[in-house]
A and B are shown apart, each in its own frame.
Chain A
Amino acid sequence: MTEITEVPSPFCGIGTDDLTIRVDGVLLKVIENGCAVNTPAFEQPMTDISARVAGQEVSLEVAVAKAAELLKDTKLPLIGGCATDVNGMRGLLALADRSGAVVDNMNFTGARNNFLALQDSGWMNTTLAEVKNRCDLLLVVGTDLEGFAPRFFERYLWNKASMFIEDTSEREVIYLGRAPSGEASTSPKGKKAQVFPCAIEDLAEVVAVLRALIKKQPIRATSVAGIAVADLQLIADKLKAATYGVVTWAAGALAYRQAELTVQTLSEMVKDLNNQNTRCSGLPLAGKEGDQTANQVCGWTTGYPARTRFSRGYPEYDPFLNETKTLLDNDEVDALVWVQAFNVTAVPPVTDLPTIVVGRSGMTFTKEPDVYIPVGTPGIDHAGHAYRMDNVVAIRLKKLRDSGLPSTAQVLNAIEQAL
């Protein structure tokens, strides 16, 4: 039995790397600094160690050969999930390039809200250490931040030491659109966040009025979606008065049509504030289960984010047409490869297509895939790299145990070689 300290987590997206984990054979126990997201993800028991073909246990070689056989004569295979580490994504993209596949990260429909805004007008963003040391006002839009990342406040807002904030417990937190699920946003001194709730799909309108107020446009209405314009004026005044305001949102939480326009309005509002003699930055929340990793590696390998097809021999990005659901619903693809090394509950969509699953050990299926190859989890079974929500920082994941499970990269490289 050993205890490993300073363990980085690929699960929570905020790059916590202070976990202490006890390793007993292949059993893991989070001893220190766990949370509702990380603890179950690390402690998830390992079950399958053998690959299966048609439900029968086979050797890895046989499973790889069968996967290659299924992919060999396909016209347009789909590689979904895309939840793995940097090396796993490298292998995945090599396989996609070779087989002319579509690549689609499972969280892309949420992330699309950010990409469409970024690719249309850009943004001014910041990273977690800047929040920790500079942020004096945090505006949380449409997102239950502590539900997303339970330790966000403890690590980055209520930190005791800060280079430029004298008393971190005096920082202000404002929720717009969605109320927090708990008390994590209440400062150690008991100062509570201000909350201005509205229906999530009304946020577009609310945010548009907030930006208009920041730009000093006259607003005739006295309330928007149940929020008094006077309250929005208060938020606008606080953002202008802040030394280093931060506006945060989770693109996936803005689950309504054309939410990219809300992200764009927020990002343009941040730019407006920087033209009014103060500093303000955006902070998009993401980084779950390798979504930033998938987009980063696909970005440098193809030029595009991880919703890209290789069917014409070169990468083509389309944030709508290359969506897994659309492709399956329209019978456009003829095989499915599902790659998910982090989360046993993120199973592939049920389909009649030949299905190959390269998944975390412990995954259970309502319909047994043609090929299932259990793989190790990056940061548990093998070393690797994963990106944090703020995209700049790649964390070095540690190997915690000897499980004998292959990595995603090993399996996908083997399938590619067998083609």
Chain B
Amino acid sequence: MLIKLTGGTVYDPACGIDGQLQDIYIKDGRIVAKPTDAVVEKEYDLKGKVVMSGAIDMHTHIGGGKGNIARTLLPEDHRQDPVHRSDITRSGCGHAMPSTFVTGYRYAEMGYTAGFEPALLPINARQAHMEMADIPILDKGGYVMLGSDDYLLRMLTAKKDQKAINDYVAWTMQSAKAIGVKVVNPGGINAFKFNQRKLDLDEQNNHYGVTPRDILQVLATAVKEIGVSHPLHVHGCNLGVPGNVQTTLDTIQGIGGLPMHLTHIQFHSYGTEGDFKFSSGAAQIAEAINRNKNITIDVGQILFGQTVTASGDSMRQHANHKHASPNKWVTMDIECDAGCGVVPFKYKDQNFVNALQWAIGLETFLLVNDPWRIFLTTDHPNGAPFTSYPHLIRLLMDRSFRNDVLSTIHPEAQKMTTLASIEREYTLQEIAIMTRAGAARLIGLKDRGGLSAGNWADITVYTDNADRQTMFEKPDYVFKDGQLVVVDGKVVSTKWGTTHVVRPDFDPSVEKGLKDYFDRYLTMKLGNFKISDDEITEDGRGSITVHPTV
């Protein structure tokens, strides 16, 4: 069937299209050039409408064990937001950590067509993929977590060369079906198992003598050398610790020009000035990002209200448990592989620290110049549930709205932020870069995130509205692979997205050392650890899309 989207105002930064009137043709799920003779079977009149590709959340906790712990922990949160079944949709729950089906529906209803789980523990990757397999409509993928696994730390202690590490990283990516590599509190999750309670960039793991700086260096190098598009995805040291701005600046400096993505940087941009010994480091961070073109970031904006934080960073989550609200929390040490911590949080605008965290995130958005190197995230659900994105977009695009909210937060926090003086308002094109073209380019999705012929037809159509929250909350139409899935902000049909992976090469002899390690120390046979393709595809719903290495 040939579908024509007629006369919309198109924002397609991947092609340099910035608000031009264009027709778009869809055939067999993909965008095609204007056909010379074919008959248009379905036409949508998009005059006055804003057209973008489907949005891509490049960092959202939508699959894996810690998310399911978060769900199990919070029945009272689900009860506030029950979701009825319909003839075409499944029941579930919403708010902070929605059920899988509701995750897919609500993302699609905001115009999102892909989400990437940033913390795929190798040993828990199977679960993450199974959960993501139950998220309808969205495409998905994951970044496999390394850096606190005993195997890598043993390699570093044994002074294995970079080639051996590259093979191990590539093998792990293939085994876990990943499209990127993540490191969380490099070596810190491991150090916590040895009873270390903090680990700074140059502090040694008590057992291995390895520092976070060493780990970042070898992993960032490995990711680059094995040809993975997405740079090493880094959740740095000292999350949430006042003064960690210096750690973050040192981390940027220390990577020596290698590509590196710093995630939820808001949580890593804290100074120690002022009466409360807590201040914004956003200006310094933004300045460093602007100067170092090898660095990309996502923000991890916090927004006020109840949520739950779910992180691989067991060390910092344990330290943060005293802020748990409600007061219940979980940490786990996991399989000589990683860990996790789940702590419910209620961010309050009248709490000085929370209010300033809010301002720090916004300062970061507004002070980083290049929208291709910054991404719109709340680190769902850690800063806020993903359903708050339209509100966040309004804060970025509407200075007077932003300043109105600013004037209501804790007065001491207002004094400690430069936010009121920042005039910048994001444009629609910049939003499209952050949430579409930039994200696709960063992850290495070859035929998503753009509207030129050859791309998959993931398309979102909005009604232009000066109230950007209203505009982005309720798209007129969302197409996924050419199928109309949302009309007027409600799901009208569902389908199953694909799982995006890369398959970097490795020397098969890497399995010799691994097999011996698995047999001696782990609890599973190597052959049973590796995830096979049919685990994702055998139910007839899932599919795998392999992207090329670079």
In the complex, how many angstroms separate the beta carbon of B214 from the nearest chain A beta carbon? 19
In the complex, how many angstroms separate the beta carbon of A76 from the nearest chain B beta carbon? 16
Asked if A97 and B90 make an inter-chain contact with CB atoms under 8 angstroms apart, the answer reads: yes
Which of A97, A274, A383, A396 is the most central at the interface, judged by chain B CB atoms within 10 Å of its CB? Answer: A396
Q: A132-B523, A310-B91 are in contact. Are A122 and B528 (CB under 8 A)?
A: no
Bound CA–CA A125/B534 (angstroms): 32
Closest residue on chain A to residue B194 by CB atoms = A279
Asked if A396 and B126 make an inter-chain contact with CB atoms under 8 angstroms apart, the answer reads: yes
Asked if B126 and A244 make an inter-chain contact with CB atoms under 8 angstroms apart, the answer reads: no
Closest residue on chain B to residue A280 by CB atoms = B195
Q: Contact check: which of A86, A277, A313, A395 meets B524 at CB < 8 Å?
A: A395
Closest residue on chain B to residue A383 by CB atoms = B538
Asked if A393 and B332 make an inter-chain contact with CB atoms under 8 angstroms apart, the answer reads: no
Q: Which residues of A contact B229 (CB under 8 A)?
A: none
Q: A278-B195, A296-B68, A392-B123 are in contact. Are A301 and B535 (CB under 8 A)?
A: no
Q: A123 within 8 Å of B by Cβ?
A: yes
Asked if B535 and A121 make an inter-chain contact with CB atoms under 8 angstroms apart, the answer reads: no
* Binary A-proximity of B199-210 (CB < 8 A = 1, otherwise 0): 000000001000
Q: B539 within 8 Å of A by Cβ?
A: yes
Q: Which residues of B contact A395 (CB under 8 A)?
A: 524, 528
Q: Which residues of B contact A360 (CB under 8 A)?
A: none
Stretch from B77-85, B249-257, B286-294, B374-382 contacting the other chain: B77-85
Q: Contact check: which of B82, B121, B127, B527 meets A314 at CB < 8 Å?
A: B82
Q: A317-B75, A394-B127 are in contact. Are A129 and B337 (CB under 8 A)?
A: yes
Closest residue on chain B to residue A409 by CB atoms = B539
Q: A281 within 8 Å of B by Cβ?
A: yes
Q: Which residues of B contact A393 (CB under 8 A)?
A: 123-124, 335, 523-524
Asked if A302 and B93 make an inter-chain contact with CB atoms under 8 angstroms apart, the answer reads: yes
* Binary A-proximity of B324-347 (CB < 8 A = 1, otherwise 0): 100111111111110000100000
Asked if A130 and B336 make an inter-chain contact with CB atoms under 8 angstroms apart, the answer reads: yes
Stretch from B45-53, B96-104, B388-396 contacting the other chain: B96-104
* Binary B-proximity of A282-323 (CB < 8 A = 1, otherwise 0): 000000000000011001111111000010011111000000
Q: B361 within 8 Å of A by Cβ?
A: no
* Binary B-proximity of A75-90 (CB < 8 A = 1, otherwise 0): 0000000000011001
Q: B71 within 8 Å of A by Cβ?
A: yes
Q: Which residues of B contact A153 (CB under 8 A)?
A: none
The SS class assigned to the B binding surface is mixed
Q: Contact check: which of A124, A155, A161, A313 meets B84 at CB < 8 Å?
A: A313
Asked if B521 and A301 make an inter-chain contact with CB atoms under 8 angstroms apart, the answer reads: no
Q: Which residues of B contact A256 (CB under 8 A)?
A: none
In the complex, how many angstroms separate the beta carbon of A308 from the nearest chain B beta carbon? 10
Asked if B78 and A130 make an inter-chain contact with CB atoms under 8 angstroms apart, the answer reads: no
Q: A161-B520, A161-B521 are in contact. Are A300 and B134 (CB under 8 A)?
A: yes
Asked if A123 and B75 make an inter-chain contact with CB atoms under 8 angstroms apart, the answer reads: no
Q: B420 within 8 Å of A by Cβ?
A: no
Q: A126-B332, A244-B193 are in contact. Are A394 and B126 (CB under 8 A)?
A: yes
Closest residue on chain A to residue B329 by CB atoms = A122
Bound CA–CA A97/B93 (angstroms): 13
In the complex, how many angstroms separate the beta carbon of A228 from the nearest chain B beta carbon? 30
Q: Contact check: which of A155, A163, A277 meets B523 at CB < 8 Å?
A: A155
Q: B490 within 8 Å of A by Cβ?
A: no
Asked if B93 and A303 make an inter-chain contact with CB atoms under 8 angstroms apart, the answer reads: yes
Which of B79, B99, B337, B524 is the most central at the interface, judged by chain A CB atoms within 10 Å of its CB? Answer: B524
Q: Which residues of B contact A274 (CB under 8 A)?
A: 318
Bound CA–CA A405/B272 (angstroms): 66
In the complex, how many angstroms separate the beta carbon of B520 from the nearest chain A beta carbon? 4
Give the size category of A's interface with B: 35 or more
Q: Which residues of B contact A130 (CB under 8 A)?
A: 193, 333-336
In the complex, how many angstroms separate the beta carbon of A343 from the nearest chain B beta carbon? 23
Q: Which residues of A contact B330 (CB under 8 A)?
A: 118, 122-125
User: Using a Cβ–Cβ cut-off of 8 Å, how many residues does chain B contribute to the interface with A?
Assistant: 66
Asked if B99 and A300 make an inter-chain contact with CB atoms under 8 angstroms apart, the answer reads: yes
Bound CA–CA A97/B335 (angstroms): 35
Q: B19 within 8 Å of A by Cβ?
A: no
Bound CA–CA A145/B178 (angstroms): 37
Q: Which residues of A contact B195 (CB under 8 A)?
A: 243, 277-279
Asked if B75 and A129 make an inter-chain contact with CB atoms under 8 angstroms apart, the answer reads: no
Closest residue on chain A to residue B343 by CB atoms = A122
Q: Contact check: which of A132, A302, A313, A383 meets B521 at CB < 8 Å?
A: A132
Closest residue on chain A to residue B526 by CB atoms = A6
A-contacting residues, B490-547, CB 8 Å: 520-525, 527-528, 531-532, 534-535, 538-539
Q: B72 within 8 Å of A by Cβ?
A: yes
In the complex, how many angstroms separate the beta carbon of B132 from the nearest chain A beta carbon? 10
In the complex, how many angstroms separate the beta carbon of A231 from the nearest chain B beta carbon? 26
Q: Which residues of A contact B207 (CB under 8 A)?
A: 164
Q: Contact check: which of A97, A115, A134, A305 meets B91 at CB < 8 Å?
A: A97
Bound CA–CA A383/B538 (angstroms): 10
Asked if A303 and B84 make an inter-chain contact with CB atoms under 8 angstroms apart, the answer reads: no
Asked if B72 and A128 make an inter-chain contact with CB atoms under 8 angstroms apart, the answer reads: no
Asked if B65 and A385 make an inter-chain contact with CB atoms under 8 angstroms apart, the answer reads: no
Asked if A119 and B328 make an inter-chain contact with CB atoms under 8 angstroms apart, the answer reads: yes
In the complex, how many angstroms separate the beta carbon of B537 from the nearest chain A beta carbon? 12
* Binary A-proximity of B80-119 (CB < 8 A = 1, otherwise 0): 0011110000111100011111000000000000000000
Which of A94, A133, A295, A392 is the most central at the interface, judged by chain B CB atoms within 10 Å of its CB? Answer: A392
Q: Which residues of A contact B90 (CB under 8 A)?
A: 94, 97, 301
Q: A130-B193, A278-B195, A303-B78 are in contact. Are A119 and B130 (CB under 8 A)?
A: no
Q: Which residues of B contact A86 (CB under 8 A)?
A: 130
Bound CA–CA A161/B334 (angstroms): 19
Asked if B521 and A300 make an inter-chain contact with CB atoms under 8 angstroms apart, the answer reads: no
In the complex, how many angstroms separate the beta carbon of B380 from the nearest chain A beta carbon? 15
Q: B150 within 8 Å of A by Cβ?
A: yes
Q: Contact check: which of B82, B99, B130, B520 meets A394 at CB < 8 Å?
A: B130
B-contacting residues, A161-220, CB 8 Å: 161-164
Asked if B527 and A6 make an inter-chain contact with CB atoms under 8 angstroms apart, the answer reads: yes
Q: B241 within 8 Å of A by Cβ?
A: no
Asked if B130 and A385 make an inter-chain contact with CB atoms under 8 angstroms apart, the answer reads: yes
Q: B73 within 8 Å of A by Cβ?
A: yes
Asked if A391 and B333 make an inter-chain contact with CB atoms under 8 angstroms apart, the answer reads: no
* Binary A-proximity of B229-249 (CB < 8 A = 1, otherwise 0): 000000000000000000000
Bound CA–CA A303/B124 (angstroms): 19
Asked if A314 and B84 make an inter-chain contact with CB atoms under 8 angstroms apart, the answer reads: yes
Asked if A125 and B336 make an inter-chain contact with CB atoms under 8 angstroms apart, the answer reads: no
Q: Which residues of B contact A98 (CB under 8 A)?
A: 85
Bound CA–CA A95/B330 (angstroms): 32
In the complex, how many angstroms separate the beta carbon of B261 from the nearest chain A beta carbon? 26
Closest residue on chain B to residue A123 by CB atoms = B330
Asked if B83 and A314 make an inter-chain contact with CB atoms under 8 angstroms apart, the answer reads: yes
In the complex, how many angstroms separate the beta carbon of B240 from the nearest chain A beta carbon? 18
Q: A127 within 8 Å of B by Cβ?
A: yes
Bound CA–CA A279/B131 (angstroms): 31
Closest residue on chain B to residue A382 by CB atoms = B538
Asked if B335 and A392 make an inter-chain contact with CB atoms under 8 angstroms apart, the answer reads: yes
Q: A17 within 8 Å of B by Cβ?
A: yes
12 contacts between A and B (CB under 8 A): A119-B72, A124-B332, A130-B193, A130-B334, A155-B523, A277-B195, A300-B68, A302-B92, A315-B92, A385-B130, A393-B335, A396-B528
**Ordered nearest first, which 10 A-B pairs have the shortest CB separation?**
A303-B93, A314-B82, A303-B78, A161-B520, A129-B335, A122-B328, A122-B329, A313-B84, A314-B91, A126-B333
9 new A-B contacts, CB < 8 A, other than A122-B330, A133-B150, are A118-B72, A130-B335, A162-B521, A300-B68, A301-B101, A303-B74, A303-B78, A314-B83, A393-B335
